[in-house]
Amino acid sequence: MVVICFGTRPEVIKFSSVIKELSERKIPFKTVFTGQHKELFDDVSDLVPAPGYRLDLMKKNQTLNHIVAAIAQKLTPILNTLRPTVLLVQGDTTTAMTSALCAFNMNIPVGHVEAGLRTFNLNAPFPEEGNRQIISRIAAFNWAPTELSAKHLKAEKCSNVEVTGNTVVDMCHNLNYKGEYGNTVLITLHRRENFGEKMKSYFEQIETLAKRYPKLEFVFPMHPNPKVQENRDLLKHVTVTAPMGYFDFLKAVSKAKLIITDSGGVQEEAGTFKKRILLCRPNTERAEGVKAGFVQLVPDNLIEAFEKVIHNPEHNIDNPFGDGKAAERIVNSMINRFPKLNKHD
C-alpha cells in the first residue's frame, strides 16, 4: 500500500495526477489530509478521492512548531495501523516535512515528489527551503522535476534520484487551455518572507502601475492570510477578489498579458502557457524559468521591471518544467523498487 500525505492546495493539485495513475493501475493507496490549507481544500477536492484520514489540526495563530507537533502526534498511529510500503510527500510544506520525518522514524520508505528545488538560503523561502532539504536527506526516492534539481540532489549525495518532470505540468496538459495574451495583469503575493514592509512596498508599486496603465486590468485574487490582507486598502485601482478556484485561476493565467507573483507553482504553470513572470523575490528554487528567459527576479523595483516587459510580453519559450508524463514515471519508479505494489499488497 502507498500512503499519500498532503495538507495544502498545491499539494492536492500536484498529487492529483499521481493518484489518478495509481487508481488506473489499481495500486492500493490511502490519503491523509492534514488540513494545513483547510479553507482552500474544497476548491480542489474534486481532483482526488475523499481523504481516507483528516487530521483537522489547524488552530488560530498557531506556530510552525505547533503544526509539526500536531501532525506527528496524529499521523503516527495511522502509520502504525497501515504500515505502508512507501509514504509519498510533495514539495516543501510543513505537512510534507513532518510526514516524511514521521515515516522515516518508523522505517517506512519516503518518496519525495518535486525533489531537489534549491535556493541554498534557509531564510528565503522560509521555512520551505529547510523543509525540502530535510526531506531530500531522508527520502528513499527523490523524484526531481528537472535536470538542475537532479544535479542538486546528486551533489548532496541523496538517494535514488530520478528526473520525472513536474506533476503540475501533467495537470495543465490535461486541461488543454489555449494560451492567449489578453488585457489582464494577474497578481498573487503571499510568501512569508515578503510580509511586512516588503509586502507593503510591492502593493504600493502595483497601485502606481495600475494608475499609470489604466487600459490594463490589474486583477489580484488575494490570499486570506491577514499579513497579506492588511495591505488591501492600498489598492484603489486594482480589482481585488477572493482567491480564485484553481481552474478559474489557470484560465486567468492562460489569458493574462503578464503575471506578477511570488509563488513557486505559478512559475511552472505560466511556463506551460508561455507567460512572462515578474517574480517578487530575490531568488528562486526554480531557476530554470529564469535561465529560459520568461521569469525575471524582482527583489525591489517592480515598476522598472514592469515597464521593460509590458509592451512586449509574448514569447515562445518551451516549458523547462516537464512534458506531462511525470506521474507515470513516478509510479513506474515505485513499482521497479517494490514490485509487490503491482500485486495489490
**Catalytic residues, which ones?**
92, 114, 128, 190, 192, 223
Rg of the Cα atoms in the chain: 20
User: How far is residue 54 from each of residues 18, 31, 248, 322, 343, measured CA to CA in Å?
Assistant: 19, 9, 26, 31, 27
Name the pairing type of β-strands 295-297 and 239-241: unpaired
CA 255 vs. chain centroid, Å, equals 21
C-alpha cell at 203: 502593493
- What CA–CA distance (Å, rounded) separates 294 from 21? 31
| Torsion sign over Cα 50, 56, 60, 63 | negative
Q: Compute the residue count for the chain.
A: 345
d(CA 16, CA 46): 10
CA 263 to CA 270: how far, in whole Å? Answer: 11
Which residues, in sequence order, are CB contacts of 103 under 8 Å at separation 6+? 3, 79, 87, 109, 110
**Residues 6+ positions from 238 with CB-CB distance below 8 Å:** 187, 206, 207, 210, 218, 219, 220
